[in-house]
Amino acid sequence: MAMLFALSTRVTTALMRSRYIHRSSATAVGMTGTGETVGAVAGVAELRKEYSRRGISDEEVDGITDPIDFFASWFAEACETSILEPNAMCLSTCIDNKPSSRMVLMKEIDRRGVVWYTNYNSRKSCELLSNPYAATTFWWGELERSVRIEGAVERVAAVEADRYFSSRPRSSQIGAWSSCQSSEVTSRIELEQQQRAVEDRFRDPLVPVPRPPHWGGFRLVPARIEFWKGRESRMHDRIVFERTEEGGPQWSKKRLQP
C-alpha cells in the first residue's frame, strides 16, 4: 500500500455523495413474463441518478503520462471517502467462452500490476490457470468513478505470498487452511467443524501459522486501463490507455464516446 500511495501524483477534492432520484411511473419493471412483479424490484428502471458536471477535461487527459499514477491518485481519493472497501474489485475470468465474475480485494498495485490473494483450488484460480487473462472493475459510486483493467495474469512469487500471508491476522491465516474454497459443503456446521480442527492444530499462539501450499496470489499485468467518470445527461467521460507493446513502459491514450 505504501508503494501505491508513493505512485500518487495528485489528489483533488471534488467529492459528491450519490443520490438516486426516484420517479413515479405506471410502468412496472422487474416483472416476470406473465406481468407479475418480482419481490421488491418493481420499478427498478425508475431509479435515476444525475451525475455532476465535474469530469476529466481534455487538458487533464493531456497531462496524464502514466495511467498507474493516475489510478493511484483516484485510489487515494477513494480511500479518503466513506466507501466501505475501496480496494474491492469485480474480477472476471472466462473459460470455454463462459465468463464468471466475483468480488475480490486488491492487496497491492505497482508498475507490475494489480495483486490479489486466493485459494489456488478455487473456481477462479482454476479458470485463470486454464486461461490466464482477466478483467477487473473498481466502482467508487461516491466519487462517480470507475476503473477497468484488463490483461494477462501471472502467479505471485512464493516469497511475496509468504510476506503478505505473515501480515494477515491469525484468524485469517487459519481461515485459509479451514476452507476448501469453491468445494461443496453439507452444512454451516461442517464448515465450522473444519475451522475448529484447524484452530486446534495451530492452538499454540507462539507458533506461526504457515502459508498453505494451495494459497497464494495472482497479478493482473495491465494491457488496457479505462477510466470512467459520470457526467450530466449520460455524456460520461471514458479515457482509455493501452500499452504500445506487451510489457512495455509506453502507453497510448484516447477518449471514447459514452
* Residue 35: all three cell numbers together: 406481468
At residue 75, φ and ψ (nearest 5 deg) are -65, -40
- What does the alpha-carbon distance between residue 155 and residue 129 come to, in Å, rounded to a whole number? 9
- Asked about 196 being catalytic, the answer comes back as no
Say which of 19, 53, 188, 234 is annotated catalytic: 234
User: Which burial class, exposed, middle or buried, applies to 133 when counting CB atoms under 10 A from its CB (0-12, 13-18, 19+)?
Assistant: middle
- What does the alpha-carbon distance between residue 135 and residue 90 come to, in Å, rounded to a whole number? 8
Positions annotated as catalytic residues are: 234
